């Protein structure tokens, strides 16, 4: 039987999520497994958000507010922007797909880094775009070469800052220089999923407002990471009203569920929790730095909640061997893996297991 699958599917590799804890427990007969593969919040979410979820779960028969009105209002008030400049989505992934569907026609070009968030290339290929991939430079976006890659067929450029999976960032000055070279009829998708973890003073200041300085920019953020709501899938983006009005034409009805909207509103109110997570992450990454240096492992200093490290063996081999000891990491490419920063206990177990696997 030959079914009429779209030809473009032949060039797409499905997104591969981090291996679930339950699978590893069953496979190796383990009781305790630390998942340090998906950049999840090791402190869960704010207790205020948890309580809001419990209350919201008392009535699940009604559809959610399709406009996410109260969530838009909460985000707009928190950041001091207009509600018409905010769009909540089903995670950032939904906005990635809608950007491709809104701005790219078959044969148009889109530019991205070669090691970055894999959803960009999947979304681009699904709309039959020509994907232009620019190699990283010192594990960072090579903004000069990305700007040089622009042609009259370019419609959309993807920037991930900090970059996933390398954890590197580019500065405000570097971004301004790049944007000065990009024609204003090319949309720039600026993904800041990990912005709350940044410690560098050189990160673009007030980056959520960049869409006002650059009307061709869409700034994406999420409640999945530092807010700990990954299981509810709530993202949000800032852009000018014209862009969002057109994206809204293809947005799925009721795209953000009732519990997700309620939890995100509550999560915004607990900035003490956000600060706590930030500090735990900072302590954790400094611990990994010390350990990797003692072990003689090359690593990339990070501005996110994960570390890109050279494990000196095939990363898939290390991935499997660590699972047997109760630690799940994310193999990326060659000898490089990405390790999410967990609680200090999880970090210590990860390092102990890594030493066993690498014979350190």
How far apart, in whole angstroms, are the C-alpha atoms of residue 298 and residue 313?
Answer: 12
| Residues 234 and 265 reside in one and the same domain | yes
Neighbouring-strand partners of residue 221: 236
Domain residues for 64?
Answer: 47-270
d(CA 192, CA 343): 23
Which of the four pLDDT bands, split at 50, 70 and 90, describes residue 346? very high
3-39 pLDDT, tens digit each: 888 888 888 888 777 788 999 999 999 999 999 999 9
- pLDDT at position 166 is 98
**221 and 309 assigned to the same domain:** no
Q: Which CATH number fits the domain that encloses residue 325?
A: 3.90.1150.10
Q: Could you tell me what percent of the chain has a pLDDT over 90?
A: 92
- Whether residue 303 lies inside any domain: the answer is yes
| Cβ atoms of residues 193 and 221 within 8 Å | yes
d(CA 176, CA 214): 10
187-246 residue pLDDT tens: 999 999 999 999 999 999 889 999 999 999 999 999 999 999 999 999 999 999 999 999
246 and 315 in a common domain: no
Number of domains in the chain: 2
For residue 162, cis peptide bond before it (omega within 30 degrees of 0): yes
Asked if residue 258 lies in contact with residue 318, where contact means CB atoms within 8 angstroms, the answer is no
Domain end: 270, 288, 320, which one?
270
Q: Burial, 107: exposed, middle or buried (Cβ in 10 Å; 0-12, 13-18, 19+)?
A: exposed
> What's the pLDDT at 187?
98
- Phi and psi of 264, rounded to 5°? -65, -40
The answer to whether residues 127 and 106 touch, using CB atoms and an 8 Å cutoff, is yes
- 177-202 confidence digits (pLDDT tens): 999 999 999 999 999 999 999 999 99
Across the chain, what does the average pLDDT equal?
A: 96
Residue 55 and residue 121 in one domain = yes
Res. 75 pLDDT band, cuts 50 70 90: very high
Residue 1 covered by a domain: no
């Amino acid at each position: 039987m030959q079914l009429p699958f779209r030809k473009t599917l032949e060039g797409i590799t499905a997104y591969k999520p981090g291996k679930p804890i339950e699978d590893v427990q069953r496979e190796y007969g383990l009781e305790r497994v630390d998942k340090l593969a998906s950049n999840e919040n090791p402190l869960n979410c704010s207790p205020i958000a948890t309580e809001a979820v419990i209350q919201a779960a008392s009535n699940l028969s009604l559809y959610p507010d399709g406009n996410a009105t109260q969530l838009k209002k909460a985000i707009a008030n928190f950041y001091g922007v207009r509600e018409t400049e905010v769009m909540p989505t089903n995670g950032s992934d939904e906005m990635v797909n809608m950007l491709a569907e809104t701005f790219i026609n078959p044969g148009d070009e889109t530019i991205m880094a070669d090691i970055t968030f894999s959803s960009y290339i999947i979304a681009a290929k699904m709309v039959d775009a020509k994907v232009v991939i620019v190699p990283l430079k010192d594990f960072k976006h090579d903004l000069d070469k990305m700007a040089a890659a622009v042609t009259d067929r370019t419609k959309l450029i993807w920037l991930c800052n900090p970059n996933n999976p390398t954890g590197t960032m580019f500065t405000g000055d570097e971004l301004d220089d790049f944007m000065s070279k990009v024609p204003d009829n090319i949309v720039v998708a600026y993904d800041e999923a990990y912005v709350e973890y940044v410690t560098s003073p050189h990160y673009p200041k007030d980056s959520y407002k960049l869409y006002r300085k650059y009307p061709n920019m869409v700034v994406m953020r999420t409640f999945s990471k530092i807010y700990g709501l990954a299981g509810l899938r709530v993202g949000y983006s800032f852009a000018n009203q014209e862009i969002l009005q057109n994206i809204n034409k293809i947005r799925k009805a009721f795209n953000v569920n009732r519990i997700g909207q309620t939890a995100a509103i509550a999560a915004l109110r607990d900035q003490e929790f956000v600060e706590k997570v930030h500090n735990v992450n900072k302590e954790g990454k400094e611990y990994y730095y010390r350990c990797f240096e003692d072990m003689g492992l090359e690593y990339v200093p990070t501005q996110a909640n994960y570390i890109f490290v050279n494990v000196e063996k095939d990363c898939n081999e290390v991935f499997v061997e660590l699972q047997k000891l109760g630690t799940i990491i994310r193999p990326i490419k060659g000898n490089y893996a990405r390790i999410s920063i967990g609680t200090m206990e999880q970090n210590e177990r990860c390092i102990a297991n890594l030493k066993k696997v690498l014979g350190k």
